[in-house]
Amino acid sequence: MKKLELKIAFTEFDNENEMSSSEQDLLQKARNAGGLAYAPYSNFHVGAALLLENGVIVTGNNQENVAYPSGLCAERVAMYYAGAQYPDVAIKTIAITCKSKTFHVGEPLSPCGGCRQAMSEYEMRHKSNIRVILMGETGKIRVVDSIADLLPFMFKAEELKNN
Ligand code: THU
């Protein structure tokens, strides 16, 4: 028996001004998208802005439904739109922000497991790491350079193969 440890790497910025202007712009686009979310059940508005390798920026927000599981997170709305419109183009960076109508979010958003899995599929499909920028309404900004740092021991395509 052996107890092992796994390390992940992430960067934190105290505020947006420490980031490049293009990343500040991506965060602003995520915020704007979050403002258009359809979230009457949770009152929790999430926005995602993806920068594709061809320079196009695709945004999305959470879309809820009275039959709760039929809704979809902001990240997947944006990623699946990008996948549908630009199937051969990798995602370079994803900025994700959130805002609640009922409380103040002062911590970076932590994307749900399903969205982490969908991001990992995108990385594997295009063999290209995705930088993920996470923010709440205010507070520090957390950044990872690959989904591997958000989803250790992720399920990979090789696991479907018969060795
Ligand atoms: N949500 C997202 O859009 N992204 C996440 O990573 C976490 C949760 C949405 C789903 C639902 O509409 C609301 O936030 C509350 O869970």
Beta strand ranges found along 17-146 (DSSP E): 44-52, 57-61, 91-100, 131-134, 141-144
pLDDT at 50: 98
Domain ranges, ordered by start, for the chain: 11-150
Ligand 1, atom 14: closest residue by C-alpha: 44
pLDDT at 1: 96
pLDDT at 163: 60
CA of 140 from ligand 1 middle (Å) equals: 20
Q: Does domain 11-150 have CATH number 3.30.750.24?
A: no
Mean pLDDT, residues 21-27 taken together: 98
Q: What pLDDT, in 10s, does the model give residues 92-141?
A: 999 999 999 999 999 999 999 999 999 999 999 999 999 999 999 999 99
Could you give phi then psi for residue 78, rounded to 5 degrees?
Answer: -70, -45
> 109 exposed, middle or buried (CB, 10 Å; 0-12, 13-18, 19+)?
buried
Q: Are the C-beta atoms of 6 and 132 separated by less than 8 Å? A: no
* 160: pLDDT strictly greater than 90: no
Residue recorded with tokens 């196009």? 56
Q: Which atom of ligand 1 is nearest to the CA of 109?
A: 6
CA of 108 from ligand 1 middle (Å) equals: 13
Ligand 1, atom 9: closest residue by C-alpha: 73
Please report, rounded to a whole number, the percentage of residues in the chain having pLDDT higher than 90: 93
Would you call 75 a catalytic residue per the annotation?
yes
Q: What pLDDT, in 10s, does the model give residues 141-157?
A: 999 999 999 999 998 87
